[in-house]
Amino acid sequence: MSLWISLYLPAPKPNTDTPQPSTKESMAALVQTRRQAAQCLALGMLQYTPNVALYQDNAIVLDVGASLSLFRGPRAMLRHLHQTLQNMKIHACSGMAPTALGSWILAIQARHVWRHCLRLETLQRRLQTLPVQVLPAALPYAQWLDGLACHTLAQLRRLPRAGLQQRSNPQLLQELDAAYGDALQHFNWFQAPCTFAQRHDLDERLEHSHALLAYAGRLIEQLCGWLQAQQKAARMLEFHFHHEKGRHAQAPTSLFLHFSDPVWIPGDFYSVLKEQLDALHLPAGVIALELFVNEVSDRPALSASLFPEPAQWLRQEHRLLDLLRARLGPDAVLQAQPVADYRPEFANHWAPVTDAPAQSSCIPPLLPEQTRPFWLLPTAVALQTVNNRPVYLGSPLRLVQGPERLETGWWGDAGHERRDYFIAQHQHGNYYWVYRQRETPAPSWFLHGLFA
């Protein structure tokens, strides 16, 4: 199915409170601004199709025919596209039609209900009543065509083609045929840059960090388009928030976003960015945002299995960890990491989730196949002894399994440890992990763990 979407950037409404200059320099600046906005928009639209082209300095066209099944139809794609426009804070009029020029002509129409159609017959019927000035090539001949009483595209099609081609530019007939689907239209596709580094200058000075999320969305959407074009994913982003220049100039405020898994979907960036912006303190107002990509990697291959794979659940877990680290801080989310030490209190320590994989080269020793408690006390608790039996909570403990002998630690500051571990049962049925210190003048028992 051949289907095109055009995004037209209308000229901004003039501010009636201030006089507007009408010089050529101001018009050139306006054209340059709209051209830059179109380029930013084209970069963000690479999320939907690789076939994106700039058109008329104020619009872009997208060949979305091959992407319809991925987005579950044209209407669903149009909803996603409008959400992207909202995230980028860009006001653009969309048009959808089976031809590229036809979609652009519909996009510039004032009536919204006429801007989208899926069938070529519907497009041709809507084009019939439109003025000839909607064709860019017809603008230089508007007065001549008006003298011929040729006011609409339907009347233009009824003119003799040979005479029209001799008395006008051949491009006029080419555009007319391209709009109606009688001829193909060729474009130079937009090419994404090799590296991503984008800047967005703000129209106002922002004092609060949470207000930056709306403007950072423009850079995030461009990044997702760039990642889609490169078929890459990002693991770390770097934001620079620029402050006012002058006598009181300050260095830009940096914000780093770390991800456990490679990500390329806008929603995965927004959740982490929102949490970190809420906790960010700005030393001064922000006048510009800049986004860099420090680390990219290949995307994981799509699974062709019918059933969910463990890697999918792992990616969801990593996204949750990324969100928790952004909300609580990187040092507040920890995971257990084994250490090559036989002493239970030293055999594990807690490390940040981001650092633990890099330090996991230390292989823990092979422990005997003994039952170990789920809860280990931070420090062993000394127990009373009655008739050489440990006493806990006023009742002697009955040894039901053991001993498990441990002799190690002679190289450390704590000295040589000689312990015999037992599983002991309380009269109420609770099980505890206790050990007896060997080769001491008096029997000394310690409580070290609790069984569930």
Residue 70, Cβ density class (10 Å: 0-12 exposed, 13-18 middle, ≥19 buried): exposed
Averaged pLDDT of the chain? 86
Q: What is the pLDDT of residue 358?
A: 46
Q: What is the pLDDT of residue 20?
A: 55
Distances (CA, A) of 291 to 38, 223, 242, 264, 443: 19, 9, 11, 15, 66
CATH 2.30.30 in the chain: give the residue spans.
375-450
Architecture in CATH for domain 375-450: Roll (2.30)
Torsion on CA atoms 23, 24, 29, 31, rounded to nearest 10: 120
Q: What is the pLDDT of residue 313?
A: 61
Cα distance between residue 311 and residue 305, in whole Å: 12
Cα distance between residue 159 and residue 124, in whole Å: 17
pLDDT bracket for residue 237 (50, 70, 90): very high
Cα distance between residue 98 and residue 81, in whole Å: 17
Cα distance between residue 164 and residue 419, in whole Å: 104
pLDDT bracket for residue 338 (50, 70, 90): confident
pLDDT tens readout for residues 107-136: 999 877 778 999 999 999 999 999 999 999
Judged against a pLDDT cut of 70, whether residue 366 lies above it is answered with no
Judged against a pLDDT cut of 90, whether residue 448 lies above it is answered with yes
Element (H, E) at 240: strand 232-243
Instruction: Assign residue 419 a region (left: φ > 0; alpha: ψ between -120 and 50; beta: otherwise).
Output: beta
- Considering the domain 197-301+310-328 in this protein, what is its CATH number? 3.30.1490.100
Element (H, E) at 235: strand 232-243
* Mean pLDDT (whole number) for 350-360: 61
CB 179 within 8 A of CB 160: no
Please state the φ and ψ torsions of residue 287, each to the nearest 5 degrees: -115, -10
**4-13+23-180: which CATH topology?**
Alpha-Beta Plaits (3.30.70)
Strand (E) positions, 92-231? 93-97, 197-206
Please state the φ and ψ torsions of residue 86, each to the nearest 5 degrees: -65, -40
Q: What is the pLDDT of residue 354?
A: 67
